[in-house]
Amino acid sequence: MQHTVQAIIDDLSQVIYGKQQQIKLALTCLFSQGHLLIEDLPGMGKTTLSHALAAVLGLSYQRVQFTSDLLPSDILGSSIFNANEHKFTFHKGPVFSQVVLADEINRAGPKTQSALLEAMEEYQVTMDGDKYALPSPFFVIATQNPLYQSGTYPLPESQLDRFFMRISLGFPPKEAERKLILGQNNRDYDHLPVRINAEQLIEIQKQVSTITLSEPVVDYILALVSYTRKNNQFANALSPRASIALGKAAQAWAFIDGRDFVTPDDVQTIFASVTEHRLGLNHDVSAQQLNQLLNDVTVPL
């Protein structure tokens, strides 16, 4: 299985140059059954990454471009009157696929944004009093532009909390950008080899949950979380859901790293991605504050 994981990372690196860390973090998120939010400036490769992820994992995916006039029924589906049978039948929307790529999620209004909410948390859609289960596995990979850009509706905290991780790609290294300029970029993610199928992905998710979380590591997570609760420099303290996410993400990271146990180093690696969007930090100072946090909390021995 380790071999497959490495192959997936290599495949994705063929599409996104020089961003191995971000690719691994994205996989970490999917292996821990979490939804992924990719936030960055336009033109940084967010959509490319999300498409490539869905393709390489062999999952069925649908893309929804969020705009300000997008309606909930455009995502969930709607009931349409069938003249032959004289009754309404439910036509499933794009949300009924294993991966939903919500492009520029913060361009849509709050009503539409929250239509995704039930789907993300409950893995089902309620329409006209009927419940429709979503396929398994089910991921939402959303991209968003930074909030200071015009024409955006910020996602409320409750909704942000439902994203397991938030990653940003950042500017590419010089060499990678040189390749891009020279037109060597490979956006042909449809032709990426499919390395695993849905069953294998579920198997991986199961394996990840058996990775050993030893006492010092759990102590470390607890210390980090309680630091945000005691210290009032954070707008939102970390919730228990965040603590759980830290543990899970560390397990998945260890798995990708080829270990069957978690070390405090894993926690440090995934810490920013898991907590940054939940803490409600000011964009300019977030990195500095997180560094401060990691510095102040001593690692349990």
Q: Which residues bind another protein (CB under 8 A)?
A: 212, 214, 216-217, 260-265, 268, 294-299, 301
Minimum distance from residue 280 beta carbon to another protein (Å): 22
Please tell me the distance from the alpha carbon of residue 138 to that of residue 124, in angstroms, as a whole number.
Answer: 10
Residue 86 corresponds to which tokens in the numbers above?
A: 């004289």
Q: How far is the CB of 214 from another protein (least distance, A)?
A: 5
CB of 167 to another protein, least distance (A): 21
Structure tokens at 166: 């938030």
DSSP letter at 261? B
Q: State the nearest-atom distance from the C-beta of 283 to another protein, in Å.
A: 23
Closest CA to 31 of 279, 287, 266: 266
Q: Which is nearer to another protein, 11 or 276 (CB)?
A: 276
Closest CB to another protein among residues 91, 259? 259
219 membership: H or E segment, kind and range: helix 215-230
169 vs 23: CA distance, rounded Å: 9
Residue 224 or residue 281: which is nearer to another protein going by CB? 224
Nearer to another protein, 168 or 268 (CB): 268
Q: By C-beta, is 8 or 267 nearer to another protein?
A: 267
CA–CA gap between residue 192 and residue 8 (Å, rounded): 10
Could you tell me the smallest distance in angstroms from the CB atom of residue 89 to another protein?
Answer: 44
229: which residues sit within 8 A by CB, 6+ positions away?
A: 237, 238
